[in-house]
Copies of this chain bind each other. A is one copy, B any other.
Amino acid sequence: MSANKSRAELLAELEDWAKGLSNDILKLKEPILEIPSRTLSNTIWDEKNKILKLGSEKIHRKFLDVKEARRFMQTMLMLRLIVEAMRADVFPTIRDLYYNGKHTINFNFLGRKYRENTWDEQSESNAVIEDIEVATNILREEMGVSADVKGKIVGPIIVRSQGYELDASKFGETALSLPVNVDALEIVKVEANYVLVVEKDAIFQRLVREKFWSQEGAILITAKGMPDRATRRFVRRLNEEHKLPVYVLTDGDPYGWYIYSVYKSGSIKLSYESERLATPNAKFLGLTATDIDSYKISDNYVIAANDRDVKRAQELLRYPWFQKPEWTREINLFLKKKKKVEIEALSTHGLKFLHDYLRDKIRGSKFID
């Protein structure tokens, strides 16, 4: 973890890594990259810490191996692009890096001419960025790589970015958009009772305008559906550094439940990041399959599940991080009734019922851990 290192220190670490490799070459030793393996088989469920993470398998990428020379070249090319960007104080996007490094290499071998592209697809250049992240333990955010940012927040919290203090309790009907690199965001002061993560942006807007957060002393966060890295990291920091309970509110369907699990346990694709991104003690507020009965949501407001929902629910049942009696009961109830329900269906009991529901769940500890 390198949360508190300066940009200059991080740059020096990347340069040192490269120097080690070039020293090997100068000593006529074969350069080898040792990189934790990011395959599905090396993704494990850490029962004790309740997160998805990478196992101990490592790959040794050898320059003098014809199967690996291309990927070795790509890794060195990407490292050069990133180091150059950091030196020049620019903040390329992952797509910039793809374009910036894309070119054709012409070479002769045994009398024949060859042409080879450095990479053809962005999936190749992205994979190399991830390799560099796991190999160096420095995140692309810390390297200054830009990406889409989805998260926004309001509530009793003051943060500082590049010397500017921002008090998220004084935003009126606007909100604070998170930066790409939330580790560079200093949390100056927090006076909140809990963090409420809301799947849907429009529900976030409602709760802002209806002053729910100030009545509750809650920090409200949304990432509009599946969360990005910055939002997950920020939720984690609020929980870890400030011991705030984290509650997640999503639609009552397998997609919503999966979103919750990404906040809580991490995702398969980014399992090497869970140790920084996941919030293992995040609680699920709802909506659950049981809520349909317990909150008397009329049939009129309930939606029939489609085949994709059913398939997704069956997948959830297979994930080790859903192996809890509360979750298997909910998912099996869903599979039996084949009914899903949206947050907005709570307005069947009037437009203010959402507030009552949230308070009832939190005060009564009616959440799933």
A interface residues with partner B (beta carbon < 8 Å) = 84-85, 88-96, 98-100, 102-104, 117, 144, 146-149, 152, 159-164, 166, 170-181, 184-185, 200-203, 205-206, 208-210, 224, 300-301, 342, 344-345, 347-348, 350-352
Contact = CB atoms under 8 A, between A and B. Distances in A.
A166 B162 contact: no
Contact of A147 (B95, B103, B205, B208): B205
Contact of A185 (B162, B174, B206, B210): B174
Given A90-B352, A96-B344, 15 more contacts: A85-B351, A90-B206, A90-B210, A95-B344, A96-B206, A99-B301, A99-B347, A148-B201, A148-B202, A164-B171, A164-B172, A174-B177, A174-B178, A179-B205, A179-B208
The 10 A-B pairs with the shortest beta carbon distances in the complex, nearest first, are: A161-B172, A162-B172, A173-B179, A175-B177, A93-B202, A91-B209, A146-B205, A95-B344, A148-B201, A164-B170
A100 B164 CA distance: 43
Nearest to A152: B177
Nearest to A173: B179
Contacts of A98: 344
Contact of A177 (B104, B164, B176): B176
A102 B301 contact: yes
13 contacts: A88-B351, A91-B209, A92-B351, A104-B300, A146-B203, A147-B202, A147-B205, A148-B205, A152-B152, A162-B172, A166-B171, A175-B177, A179-B208
Residue in A152, A159, A174, A206 whose Cβ sees the most chain B Cβ within 10 Å: A174
Contacts of A210: 89-91
Copies in the complex: 2
B173 A161 contact: yes
A206 B344 contact: no
Contacts of A200: 93, 148
A57 to B, nearest CB: 32
A159 B172 CA distance: 11
B202 A99 contact: no
A95 B342 contact: yes
A163 B173 CA distance: 10
Contacts of A96: 206, 344, 347, 351
A342 B344 CA distance: 38
Contacts of A146: 202-203, 205-206, 209
Contacts of A148: 200-202, 205, 224
A90 B161 contact: no
A70 B73 CA distance: 67
A180 B173 CA distance: 8
